[in-house]
Amino acid sequence: MTTADTAPLTLDQINLAYPDLFEQGRHHEAFKILRREDPIHWNEGTEEIKGFWNVVRYDDVVAVSRRPDIWSSERGIVGSEPRDEQEAVLAANGNGKMLITMDPPRHVRLRRLVNKGFTPRAVASWESHISEITKGVLDDIAPKGQVDFVTEVAALIPLAVICEIMGVPKSDWKLMFQLTNKVLGGGDPEYQTDVPEEQRGTVEAARTTVNIGTMQMFGYFAQLLQQKKAEPGDDLISTLIASEIDGDKLTDEDILWFCFLLILAGNETTRNAMSGGLLALFNHPDQRKKLQDDMSLLPSAVEEMLRYVSPVTHMARTALQDTEIGGVKMKKGDRIIMWYPSANRDEKYFPNGDVFDITRSPNDHIAFGLGEHFCLGAGFARLEIRVLFQQLLTRFPDIRQAGPEQRLRSNFIGGIKHLPVEFTPAK
């Protein structure tokens, strides 16, 4: 490591278009500087990408989230826009077609087709089943005493739940894990298995990985869709097949984009909240002891994990008209990126925000976003995390870190790829 890597960051060194600061774990340092010195910060573009505004304060993120009529999702919600025309078209492929990249009024109608399956009441009815799934996963690791918490625990629970909700058969769950890694983790060389080894780690390799993963995902769901049409089940895909908006059935393409979104959103996010949450407990033994001494603190601890980890780091928006944020004028067409890990440590709402405090109150974090695009699966995420830690800390009270964690190279998902843990084996 050179001196430049360890010297304190300065404003002019901050460029959030690239995953470097995230991979180095220095993003919070960058966000703190931005909140203090330039909370609506113009991020210069490059030859490859257009410039954008970084929005880092809680109030500003909330204000943008409350105005989907001004701040559109239809020009993409991830990162900055490519300059290259062809690449921009490719990147915009799913825009306007998924809930997450759709504006009102269509977003309102499409979300209403499915949101009854995600209300607190609906989620609560899954608790005993999610407990069973979790118990099964922990049964499998119990005799081992040493595992990779990410791939053997945290990845498997949300994967099982979202696959069951959607009606993906168990024989295909492993494939879903591999494909979601390619699509959302495509920038990380570990998942660039379709690219010759010497080319891994490049921008080109990332793009190829994401594209191949996306095509394979669509191919898979196109087949599953035909099966569900022939034999409808009690699952979300079958519900979508039977659904209508204003008398019109959804097209196959509509349903495939829905599947694509749900499998990604249901997998990567909760996985990283769990892994990041456990790591936070490892790194804060006092908080961990407090929790294990009094497990009634768990719901509050889950909220603090969500705030502290903020697994989805950003959403991008594009201005549909001239407007302003935090007193800074923006032009129609300007791109902004809202940074959730920053909003969730904003000094105004979270005193000592860098401190992991499982009894924090109030804790009105926005790890799930807010408003029109509030995370549809938030209730499932909360329940899955709570059930996991309830069982994990009860069955393996001495669980500890057994090696360094490996972070995902991404500025979109605050991810952990591997987290070796050990514990006293049990039956």
Partner 1 sequence: MKVIVNHDACEGHAKCQAAAPAVFEVREDDLSYVLVDEVPEDQVENVEKAIRLCPRAAIAWAKES
Q: How far apart are CA 120 and CA 374, in angstroms?
A: 14
| Residue 41 and residue 66 in contact, taking contact as beta carbons nearer than 8 Å | no
Which residue, among 202, 185, 201, has the nearest Cα to 408 in the 3D structure?
A: 185
Whose Cβ is closer to partner 1: residue 232's or residue 326's? 326
Whose Cβ is closer to partner 1: residue 122's or residue 355's? 122
Minimum CB separation from partner 1 for residue 409, in Å?
A: 31
Minimum CB separation from partner 1 for residue 44, in Å?
A: 32
Whose Cβ is closer to partner 1: residue 220's or residue 349's? 349
| Residue 368 and residue 374 in contact, taking contact as beta carbons nearer than 8 Å | yes
Strands (E) across 73-204 are located at: 146-148
Three-class SS state of 95: coil
Whose Cβ is closer to partner 1: residue 40's or residue 367's? 367
Whose Cβ is closer to partner 1: residue 233's or residue 371's? 371
Minimum CB separation from partner 1 for residue 378, in Å?
A: 7
Whose Cβ is closer to partner 1: residue 81's or residue 384's? 384
Minimum CB separation from partner 1 for residue 250, in Å?
A: 19
Minimum CB separation from partner 1 for residue 105, in Å?
A: 9
Contacts of 369 (CB under 8 A, 6+ apart): 65, 312, 315, 340, 375
Q: How far apart are CA 273 and CA 416, in angstroms?
A: 9
Query: Residues 400, 406, 408, 413: what is their CA dihedral angle, to the nearest 10 degrees?
Result: 20
Whose Cβ is closer to partner 1: residue 118's or residue 350's? 118
Minimum CB separation from partner 1 for residue 275, in Å?
A: 24
Whose Cβ is closer to partner 1: residue 316's or residue 366's? 366
Whose Cβ is closer to partner 1: residue 27's or residue 57's? 57
Contacts of 260 (CB under 8 A, 6+ apart): 94, 98, 214, 217, 218, 221
Minimum CB separation from partner 1 for residue 5, in Å?
A: 39
Indicate the residue type of 194: D
Sheet harboring 52-55: ordered strands across? 40-43, 52-55, 335-339, 314-319, 71-72
Minimum CB separation from partner 1 for residue 121, in Å?
A: 6
| Residue 336 and residue 53 in contact, taking contact as beta carbons nearer than 8 Å | yes
How many Cβ atoms are within 10 Å of 164's Cβ, its own excluded? 18
| Residue 40 and residue 53 in contact, taking contact as beta carbons nearer than 8 Å | yes
Whose Cβ is closer to partner 1: residue 118's or residue 260's? 118
Residue numbers of the site for partner 1 (CB under 8 A)? Answer: 65-66, 108, 112, 115-116, 118-122, 364, 368, 370-372, 374, 378
Contacts of 236 (CB under 8 A, 6+ apart): 114, 117, 165, 166, 167, 262
Minimum CB separation from partner 1 for residue 412, in Å?
A: 21
Minimum CB separation from partner 1 for residue 374, in Å?
A: 5
Q: Which residues of 308-325 are buried (b: 16+ CB within 10 A; e: fewer)?
A: bbbbbbbbbbbbbeebeb
Angle (CA) 283 131 401, round 5°? 20
Q: How far apart are CA 205 and CA 183, in angstroms?
A: 12
Angle (CA) 271 60 315, round 5°? 35
Minimum CB separation from partner 1 for residue 151, in Å?
A: 31
Whose Cβ is closer to partner 1: residue 166's or residue 378's? 378
